[in-house]
Copies of this chain bind each other. A is one copy, B any other.
Amino acid sequence: MATIYEVATLAGVSPATVSRVMNGLRVSPEKAELVRSAAAKLKFTPNRTARTLRRQNSEVIALLLPDIENPYFTSMARGVEDAAQAAGFSLVMCNTDEDPSKEARYLDIAVSENMAGVIIAPASDHTELTQLLERGRPVVAVDRSTRYDVDAVMMSNRPAGRDAAQSLVDSGYRRIACITGPEDIETAMERAIGWRTAVEAAGGSATSDLLRFSTFRVDGGRAAMEDLLASAEPPDAVVATNNLMGVGALQVLTERGLTPPRFGVAVVGDLPFTTLSPAAITIVRLPARHMGTTAARMLLARIEGDAEPAHTVVLRNEVVPASLISGATAGR
């Protein structure tokens, strides 16, 4: 592992000159060439650890996600990555698994590795960002907000829940249930509130017997759906407030022959790998990838020194009503 000193010796210059060449600072063309060929001969790769220690700043940004297995988040990750790469930053992803302690650990690493910035979908509303912020590291919250004054990119959660429920109302369903995520997760609550708003505005019932809290995963959706169907007065339609719960609910319904439109289904979030085609399902699309690129751009601007007051960007959802879905659009 060649160091800058070995390159310097071989090139007959000082280490400082090697450093300058590696960083594109002004150096005489001859010496620059000398350095470059010496570096090539020694297969020299600058040691980022040393550089980071010296500069107090690395060129990698971290993305902390609560569930790496959820396509919603990986799609967002792609967005972040594209923007980061374009700006010369590398992206490392960490799975917090909705676990505040795992999350704290990764935040710690981000701090102590001097990472340039962090984009985080917080695992809880108690997420501790002080360390990062005190050290002047920019942070952008995605999907869920924090109690700090940092930039954020959110989905229009209430409208999304409302739109989902409204499309079911419009289709004539009478008892519209809602399956949502944990009560302490903002997106879960907000989308549920949207559901309630639409249902009540239509004169329907949005009482707690039609609302289920569960995990934001497939099994959570399954359990909640089964529970709803087993209730005294079962619903005739359901809003699932995230993609995976939607999948779980649909699985249960399909197993029981209650395929849409016999039973109304509206899902908040895309169903990227579904194989059902002209299905009678309403999808409220969430621009996850766009959320990623937006967040990355905001973070990069902060890294470049942008000192504007923090602001929150809310991304609008897009409704794809049941009738319009086709296999082709469900594909992407």
Chain A residues close to B by CB (< 8 Å): 1, 43, 45-50, 52-53, 58, 60, 62, 68-69, 71, 74-75, 77-78, 81, 85, 90-95, 97, 102, 105-106, 108-109, 111-114, 131, 134-135, 218-219, 222, 243-244, 247-248, 250-252, 254-255, 271-278, 326-328, 330-332
Is there an interface contact between A112 and B48, defined as CB atoms closer than 8 Å? Answer: yes
Given B53, B93, B243, B251, which contacts A92 in the complex, CB threshold below 8 Å? Answer: B93
Is there an interface contact between B277 and A274, defined as CB atoms closer than 8 Å? Answer: no
Most chain B Cβ neighbours within 10 Å, of A81, A135, A275, A328: A275
Most chain B Cβ neighbours within 10 Å, of A95, A243, A272: A95
Number of copies: 2
Q: Evaluate whether A108 and B331 lie within 8 angstroms (CB atoms) in the complex, with A71-B273, A218-B273, A275-B247 already known.
A: no
Given B49, B77, B95, which contacts A49 in the complex, CB threshold below 8 Å? Answer: B49
A108–B47 Cα distance when bound, in Å, is 10
Given B109, B111, B252, B328, which contacts A255 in the complex, CB threshold below 8 Å? Answer: B328
Given B50, B244, B255, which contacts A277 in the complex, CB threshold below 8 Å? Answer: B255
A69–B292 Cα distance when bound, in Å, is 14
Is there an interface contact between A218 and B78, defined as CB atoms closer than 8 Å? Answer: no
- A97 closest partner in B (C-beta): B81
Is there an interface contact between B48 and A68, defined as CB atoms closer than 8 Å? Answer: no
A70 to chain B, nearest CB (A): 8
A271 to chain B, nearest CB (A): 7
A26–B108 Cα distance when bound, in Å, is 25
Is there an interface contact between B277 and A276, defined as CB atoms closer than 8 Å? Answer: no
A119 to chain B, nearest CB (A): 14
A68–B94 Cα distance when bound, in Å, is 12
A100 to chain B, nearest CB (A): 14
Known: A45-B131, A48-B112. 15 other contacts (CB 8 A): A45-B108, A46-B112, A49-B114, A68-B77, A71-B71, A91-B95, A92-B94, A93-B95, A113-B113, A218-B332, A222-B331, A247-B274, A255-B326, A255-B327, A276-B276
- A106 closest partner in B (C-beta): B90
Given B81, B95, B114, B248, which contacts A81 in the complex, CB threshold below 8 Å? Answer: B95
Is there an interface contact between A90 and B78, defined as CB atoms closer than 8 Å? Answer: no
A68–B278 Cα distance when bound, in Å, is 28
Is there an interface contact between B112 and A252, defined as CB atoms closer than 8 Å? Answer: no
- A94 closest partner in B (C-beta): B92
